[in-house]
Amino acid sequence: YEFNSAIVRQPSTSVVNGLRTDDRGGPTYEGVKAEHDAYIAAMRNAGVEVTVLPALESFPDSIFVEDPALVFTGGAILLRPGTPSRVNETAEIAPTLREMFETVLELPAPGQADGGDIMYTPKGVLIGLSARTDKMGAEALVSCIEKLGGKAQVAETPKGVLHFKTASSLLDNRTVISTAALADAAVFEGFRKIVVPQGEEPAANVLRVNDVVFASAHYPRTLEMLDREGYKVVPLKTAEIEKIDAGLSCMSLRW
Ligand code: CIR
């Protein structure tokens, strides 16, 4: 969670048509843009140099740059997002990554994996299986990560959430925050666990950036809990992006 650099992408006006599993009404472009602007400002405040890529009108979900790629200080991996409308987002971000990283690997077909299912931890990378990340994708990704000198293991994602990190996040080198459904997961054995209160499940997607934790401003019990645990919390609005199943980690690639 110590990052010097990040990539984000401006939302397109088509973001109002972003994918969602449960239609609670679409977000407004202005609302998403305001949340995104505040996110970029918070990243910069946390000491991160942010590269802002231009909006892509033909890809409503392309603001969520975390999904088509995976980055490490030593290289990047181009992923194969697990939903048709997002597959070609990889080709859109590839030139930027090839410019910024010397080593860029590609997840081989036909496996699929979304970055939202991937969590970096000091014990290695965790890859959650989900509707977007299949076994073939996860296993091929383990090999790619090993080629970059890392290690990885595959985990299950609880039913009913989009991504592994919709329900869990790394808070520090020994602590994860998660929903109750994921708290007992074998892959989190050995970690200290903070469980979000019932009714605040979306709050499990936080983003630790250097000294601070970005957390959704809409879940007061979780904010209080993080504060009590001694984390420096930066509350950020997520009401609009949540309408299209997104949280705080999705909006950047960090290294
Ligand atoms: C999607 O369904 O792909 C987008 N509407 C939300 C993606 C959220 N990404 C993430 O959590 N990494």
Is any ligand 1 atom within 6 A of the Cβ of residue 18?
yes
How crowded is residue 41: how many other Cβ atoms within 10 Å of its Cβ?
13
| Structural tokens at position 17 | 């048509």
Residue with the smallest CA separation from ligand 1 atom 9 is 250
CA of residue 234 to ligand 1 center, whole Å? 21
Contact predicate 182/172, CB 8 Å? no
Residue 244, annotated ligand binder? yes
Give 163's contacts (C-beta < 8 A, 6+ positions apart): 114, 116, 117, 128, 130, 132, 133, 157
pLDDT given at position 11? 98
Is any ligand 1 atom within 6 A of the Cβ of residue 117?
no
Residue 61, annotated ligand binder? yes
Is any ligand 1 atom within 6 A of the Cβ of residue 128?
no
Q: Output the pTM of the full model.
A: 0.96
Q: Which domains does the chain have, with CATH numbers?
A: 5-254 (3.75.10.10)
- State CA 25 to chain mean position distance: 23
Q: Phi then psi for 49, rounded to 5 degrees? A: -85, 120
> Which atom of ligand 1 lies at the shortest distance from residue 246's CA?
8
Residue 20, annotated ligand binder? no
- State CA 20 to chain mean position distance: 16
Residue 132 in 3-state DSSP? coil
Q: Phi then psi for 53, rounded to 5 degrees? A: -85, 155
CA of residue 131 to ligand 1 center, whole Å? 12
DSSP state of 147: H
| Structural tokens at position 235 | 């509350």
Is any ligand 1 atom within 6 A of the Cβ of residue 246?
yes
Catalytic center residues = 163, 250
Chain segment 136-166, per-residue pLDDT in tens:
999 999 999 999 999 999 998 888 889 999 9
Residue 32 in 3-state DSSP? helix
Collect the ranges in the chain with pLDDT lower than 50.
none
CA of residue 225 to ligand 1 center, whole Å? 26
Helix/strand number for the chain, H first, E second: 6, 15
Is any ligand 1 atom within 6 A of the Cβ of residue 255?
no
Tell me the C-alpha to C-alpha distance, in Å, between residue 146 and each of 104, 114, 135, 150.
13, 18, 17, 5
Is any ligand 1 atom within 6 A of the Cβ of residue 68?
no
The amino acid that residue 174 corresponds to is R
CA dist 110 and 5 (Å) reads: 30
> Which atom of ligand 1 lies at the shortest distance from residue 67's CA?
12
CA of residue 110 to ligand 1 center, whole Å? 20
DSSP state of 58: T
pLDDT given at position 159? 84
